[in-house]
Amino acid sequence: MSTPPEPAKLYPRKKFAYDDVPPTPTKEPPLPLWSDAARNHTSNPYTYSEVTAPRIQGIRDRSTLPAEKRNLIDYKQPTDLYPTTFPHFVRGRDSLRSYITEWFSTKIAIYDGAMGTMIQNYAKKNKLEEEEYRGDRFKDWTCNVKGNNDMLSITQPQIIQGIYRQYLEEGGSNLIGTNTFSSTTIAMGDYEMEPYAYELNYEGARLARDVCDEVTAKDPTKPRFVVGAIGPTNRTASISPSVEDPAARNVTFDELVDTYFEQVVGLMDGGADILMVETIFDTLNAKAALYAIQEYLELSGLDVPIFISGTLVDQSGRTLSGQTGEAFYASIRHTKPMCVGLNCALGAKHMVPFVERVSKAAECFVLVYSNAGLPNVMGGYDDTPEVMAEDNKVFFENGWINMVGGCCGSTPPHIKAIREMAEKFKPRPLPPTTRPKMWLSGLEDLKVEDVHNHLGLPFLNVGERCNIAGSIKFKKLMMAGDYGSAMDIAKKQVEDGAHVIDINVDDGLLDGLAAMQKFVKIAVTEPEIAKAPFMLDASKFEIVMAGLKWCQGKCIVNSISLKVGEELFIEHATLLRKHGAAVVVMAFDEQGQAATEEEKVRICKRSYDILVNKVRFPPEDIVFDPNVLTIGTGLEEHANYGVDFIKATKRIKEECPYVKISGGISNLSFGFRGVTKIRESIHSVFLQHAILESGMDVGIVNAKEMLAVDDIEPDLRELCENLVFNLKPEATDEMLDRTSFERAVMDAKKNGLPPPRKPRGNMPKLPRLKFSYDEVDPVPASEPPLPISDAALNHVPNPYTYSAITHEKVKDIREKSTLPAEKRDKIDYQLSPETYPECYPYFVRGRDSLREYITKMFSTKIALYDGAMGTMIQNYAKKNKLEEEEYRGERFKDWTCNVKGNNDMLSITQPQIIQGIYRQYLVEGGSDLIGTNTFSSTTIAMGDYEMEPYAYELNYEGARLAREVCDELTAEDPSKPRFVVGAIGPTNRTASISPSVEDPAARNVTFDELVDTYFEQVVGLMDGGADILMVETIFDTLNAKAALYAIGEYLEFSGLDVPIFISGTLVDQSGRTLSGQTGEAFYASIRHTKPMCVGLNCALGAKHMVPFVERVSKAAECFVLVYSNAGLPNVMGGYDDTPEVMAEDNKVFFENGWINMVGGCCGSTPPHIKAIREMAEKFKPRPLPPTTRPKMWLSGLEDLKVEDVHNHLGLPFLNVGERCNIAGSIKFKKLIMAGDYGSAMDIAKKQVEDGAHVIDINVDDGLLDGLAAMQKFVKIAVTEPEIAKAPFMLDASKFEIVMAGLKWCQGKCIVNSISLKVGEELFIEHATLLRKHGAAVVVMAFDEQGQAATEEEKVRICKRSYDILVNKVRFPPEDIVFDPNVLTIGTGLEEHANYGVDFINATKRIKEECPYVKISGGISNLSFGFRGVTKIRESIHAVFLHHAILDAGMDVGIVNAKEMLATGEVEPELRKAADALFQPKP
């Protein structure tokens, strides 16, 4: 028979906390946990007259026992009969379980020998014929009874007692087996004595009881015990009596239970101490006997030790019904026997390997009682006592057993010899207690936790093909009644790797009860099927129960659930526990099926608690099925079903120790039925993660079709990952496309046609070429990234002598300002170096570097900002008069328009109010930093009040008032210096958003206008004494970029180092600014300014900001701040969060170490800031992230790190879409020339859809106003989310055109291009301007002599450009993109032939010599000589890019992403020809 090959690798099983518990010494055999009497070691009272359950009493009442004996069923002894110490024993006083444990742990106990042999020996010396068997009572019996040895307990009790006595006295037995081997109604049927079963057992036990008590009384230190012997009957539940009909049986499980129950009642009423199910050649019979014993123990409430002994019929080491010793043990261990072992059929020497195996398997004590050798030709046994003892010696020497006796052929002398041999040895110690495992069995045993399947996964394959729902073929066979062919399917399942066979015959047109029973009864007779355990699977509980009663092995029942209610659930589970079955529990309850992760966990945990605590079900035998539900249906609510299952699996296994997790794996991919390759690939990926990462153990699968995850095509594997883990919205559509392709392949193969072209899907990601500077390990950051200014780089303290700043632009602002003359010279704030001590935390302006101070402060504590100015002004107005008159003050009493609401104006007209608010935040709130009352103090915003000329003065006063209060408070406690943060708000106009619904290109402000207004604000703030400049509440990043550009200009003119803080505003739960950027894109757009601190404020309450603050914290290389609103506004526009609530909501930021500075925005007040401060003081600030390899970090509405990009072909390559380039698309050119910008936008969208990461925008044409066209295109494009999410590459031959476009881009763009052909001076000027705007730059390999064509020229010009940019311009090297000129090959001109090779070679050298740069090129130039034949051109490009990217490190290219080919998609001959183009020419 074929079997699956051994796996090349065994994957490790997922471990949980309870898996790593070391083995512990075992004190006693496993206890029957469902029995309180056993668990508590409650002694058996031996007062059976008190056991009056109707079922038991009914057996007594209809028994043949003479009336005078019916009350003689109590055997309790006086408690003081013998001493209380071991080895004495008194019935009713002592726990027999405890006694046996101590006894079997200290000596090898001696059982008796053969009853039949002794009766035969008696008959040789005495008359024992039919007459004696009948005796007086049965002298007129209607059939012969000679040979009915059990009958002698009634008719010849003296013979039986004599034999008992011989074994006890001569043999030295400690335990006597009753003469009841065949005392069942079934076995007695051979003698028509069925009604006498109870009496036979009663008398057999009573006679033994009497003799044991008699012998014990002679020596109470050696108590003797009665073992109620329960034989196998003369019928077998597992074996057909008919050769023609394998489903035939001559007895049922229930009939066996009934007959055994009556035997048990008789034995116990007769005084048995122990019950032993022995000589088991069919384990199903034994399971019925053990079930009957459990029923008796449950009804009586007693603890009676159970011994079990199997019979292996020959040297195959199997029972007559085919089980190995281990499988036999696994099938009965649920009954928790105290002792288990083997007897009969073989002599001791032949039993050696099998006893050893049972000894290794058994968790309890072990027994053996062999025959006296093998029978001779006459049926007798020739082994002498000495030979038999010697043959048993191996058991003692190896410490395999705890109890020994003899079976056929053995006599008291044999037992004596064995006893004398055994006394020299110690008994077998109980094995250590280890982690419980599910131990299943068919004809062979299987520990689920030790299983690896044919793929090497720690996973139990449950074969699905004998399930009507899992196989159409199986269904047809079952409906036709063709059970023989159905067996072939079962065999094939095992051959193909199924560890367990799922059997399900559920169908509305089929008698499920009859079909299940017939299938199982036939299957158990087929060794190649029956060697595997079964999973009995049905929607009706009575059907699985019917099947279970025909299984000798330990099965799994599938399934039960809480959907039937808790009461019936407990009833079902209890019944299965008694049968020893493992159980699948579905994640259903009274409300329905669990679909989400939380529901799965909740229902399974509830089920577990009921099963373990109420039913006392072994947790290791519980298999939860949390419902594998179908993914890829197109319904959004189904998309996460795979993820939910995998996550729930891990949580269930964590919360429910020892359970297994299973599922019907085919359900997962039901939406892709008909295409096995797709379905099995999905299953493989799902199982790989569910098994190895979450601990799934079991699954109903088609083992033959299962795939190893490494055998899945890489692109298909990625599609599966996306689908299973719901990684992208398009996952289902992409998989459906691939399914259509695979179906088309199948059809083509069927029709003898060539296969269709494979849809690309997601290609595997190829590795990026590494250079030496890529391998640098992260290093701890000592401070935030530094601006490039000398002052910042050298930590030069700000002198605070602003009168020394006399740059023309600064001076002009002061001169035209409205600031009264007497204040114009008050712009210096330098302190004497001796004002305060030189050590931290003291700070002196002009002496100390504020950059260094902030770094230390923000690294050691969470700094406190202030709260809302507007809220405080409103609160003031509620208690004091603050109307139009007060806003105007004396100075503006005759102002021409209303000014109430112009809060910034109060710095001039009501300075005491503003200073009072500052003071409250500093004193009561405990703020370290105060934001100036200058949020709207720009010429633009002041236009609403016709106060444009007052912008400088407003900023000056707002800062000066804060300066004075900060200095006042610092003087009171110099160890806590207070700092003035110059607040720069967003203005009331947006550069990125059109004010007109009709015209998306319209704007009401320009970048340059914003720069001018912000520059004036910066000058005012600095002259007023600000320490820090904060651009805040940024809802349009382009406005912020203008403000930061203005700050950069001021710092350049002044030569100062002033820390910059930046705070964005995400307007709702989308996590985006008003102009559409994510938090990461916002950061990428402004990080070129090297802020010391960046974060979020306003719009949302703290609890709503959590995910966005976390993301900014992960992104930012500098310190991080947050100052949220006091919740969301109420219907009146107010804020309801109390200080305590706001502090609690901010706690998550502190706990997670996400921030360095915290404050409050709208609705917050000094009490709010105080509460936040007190909360923050308990936590450490966010550490700066390590410094890593610099990367080019672009942004549109979303961010993009170029070094982390892989394109749609899996290449580490940035696709720059070429189709919005007049030179790259005739269609685009026509649209732009016609002014059809709307249709031009469609081209841009298509570029992004087709795989462009960046959109190249070029409107160069002699007949077009490039300046106007570039601005219009960009202004419209930034309003289209599907375009604007990608960064732009602004591309023009004239520098002023790219600059015009750049000023309308809120994101970080690439400018294409500059070069040295304009001369070094202008090159530096261009580069400096781009650096200030934060743009990346493409540098062409041109210089004053022209274009670089050869390898050497390309390297030389690029290296020269690099040195100028990095050393003179201080341009970030990671933002430099060199274009070494992709030139046309294949022209026929010899000098052009090496252009491709030169480019590739130069690329590698440039990247080696110019760390962190990128290499780009216009790829279409390469194949210009083959224009008109896209297939040829794209094949050439594919081969070129493969080498340039993977071998040389090219990063970027202007391409038509849609037309790009992977090298694997290029026809072999064409690829060979293309490869030849890139071989060096001599």
Q: Which pLDDT tens digit goes with each residue over 1145-1161?
A: 999 999 999 999 999 99
Report the chain's C-alpha Rg in angstroms. Answer: 45
Instruction: Give CA–CA dist 260/1372, Å, rounded.
Output: 89
1239: pLDDT strictly greater than 90: yes
pLDDT tens per residue across span 118-139: 999 999 999 999 999 999 999 9
310: pLDDT strictly greater than 70: yes
1242: pLDDT strictly greater than 90: yes
CB contact at 8 A, 1210 and 766:
yes
Angle at CA of residue 912, ends 910 and 913, nearest 5°: 70
What pLDDT is attached to residue 1234? 94
What pLDDT is attached to residue 7? 81
Mean pLDDT calculated for residue range 1354-1381? 98
Residue 2 pLDDT level (bands cut at 50, 70, 90): low
575: pLDDT strictly greater than 90: yes
CB contact at 8 A, 608 and 659:
yes
3: pLDDT strictly greater than 80: no
Mean pLDDT calculated for residue range 1073-1094? 97
Strand 225-230, strand 1199-1201: pairing: unpaired
Mean pLDDT calculated for residue range 113-122? 94
1315 prior amide bond cis, ω within 30: no
470: pLDDT strictly greater than 90: no
Cβ neighbour number for residue 50 with a 10 Å cutoff = 11
Burial bucket for residue 4 (CB in 10 Å: 0-12, 13-18, 19+): middle
Angle at CA of residue 403, ends 398 and 404, nearest 5°: 85
Mean pLDDT calculated for residue range 104-124? 96
CB contact at 8 A, 408 and 445:
no
pLDDT tens per residue across span 200-244: 999 999 999 999 999 999 999 999 999 999 999 999 999 999 989
- Model's pTM, two decimal places? 0.64
What pLDDT is attached to residue 775? 87
The 3-state DSSP class for residue 498 equals coil
Task: Identify the residue whose tokens are 């014929």.
Answer: 129
Instruction: Give CA–CA dist 1147/1164, Å, rounded.
Output: 16
pLDDT tens per residue across span 1096-1121: 999 899 999 999 999 999 999 999 99
Residue 379 pLDDT level (bands cut at 50, 70, 90): confident
pLDDT tens per residue across span 585-612: 999 999 999 999 999 999 999 999 999 9
Q: Percent of the chain having pLDDT more than 90?
A: 91
Mean pLDDT calculated for residue range 61-68? 96
Q: Name the token pair of 984.
A: 């720069």
Residue 1481 pLDDT level (bands cut at 50, 70, 90): low
Alpha helix (H) residue ranges in 973-1100:
1007-1023, 1037-1054, 1079-1086
Strand 1254-1257, strand 1214-1217: pairing: parallel
- Which neighbouring-strand residues pair with 1376? 1337
Task: Identify the residue whose tokens are 């008698």.
Answer: 511
Residue-level length of the chain: 1482
Q: Name the token pair of 732.
A: 């289902």
Rounded to 5 degrees, what are φ and ψ at 1099?
70, -40
> Which H/E stretch holds residue 920?
helix 911-920
Please, which residues have CB within 8 angstroms of residue 757's CB and are 6 or more apart in sequence? 1465
CB contact at 8 A, 1461 and 1434:
yes
What pLDDT is attached to residue 1? 46
What pLDDT is attached to residue 875? 92
End-to-end, the C-alpha distance of the chain in Å comes to 63
CB contact at 8 A, 556 and 536:
yes
Cβ neighbour number for residue 726 with a 10 Å cutoff = 18
Strand 534-537, strand 556-560: pairing: parallel
